[in-house]
Amino acid sequence: MREKITDALKTALKSGDRERSGTLRLVNAAIQDRDIANRGTGKAAATDEEIMQILAKMVKQREESAKAFDDGKRPELAAKERSEIEIIRAFLPTQMDEAATAQAIKAAIAETGAAGVKDMGRVMAALREKYVGQMDFGKASGLVKGFLQG
């Protein structure tokens, strides 16, 4: 994953694509920050799973920023955030649609033996473990709660 991002950065720099290269530099900086934090605790460099978590977090941050810019009547800044989202999403697995998300939630509920809303944390932990970068966990938590309530 790390190599794929570095290769994409090199390509963007060679082609003179400033927006793409700037966004990929931000991604590399976030990965290096995680590596430094891991070193401080004696862990190895960021794994592919951790990199996917970083990318998912970056997408979420940009979605929130784009919404804030839209609310503040700054469409040019919102458009910039959305273009960065597209660049980052290219490195994440495709997002699950609602039907696939519902099916994964049902499987996780059966797998964990969840019986009620009090078991929601176990179900969400199982989903986060299996579907990093593939699922919007904000929407998924609402669906999990709905399924567990009956």
The DSSP output letter for 92 is S
- Output the pLDDT for position 119: 87
What does the radius of gyration of the chain's CA atoms come to, in whole angstroms? 18
pTM for this prediction: 0.73
Looking at per-residue pLDDT, the higher value among 134 and 28 belongs to: 28
d(CA 57, CA 76): 22
Please state, rounded to an integer, the average pLDDT across all residues of the chain: 90
d(CA 2, CA 47): 9
pLDDT, tens digit, 9 for 90 and up, residues 63-120: 999 999 999 999 999 999 999 999 999 998 888 888 888 899 999 989 888 888 888 8
Length of the chain: 150
What's the Cα-to-Cα distance from 94 to each of 44, 55, 61, 99, rounded to whole Å?
A: 27, 13, 18, 14
Nearest to 54 by CA among 44, 62, 42: 62
Buried b (16+ CB within 10 A) or exposed e, 29-51: ebbeebbeeeeeeeeeebeeebb
Hey, what domains does the chain have and what are their CATH numbers?
2-89 (1.10.1510.10), 98-149 (1.10.10.410)
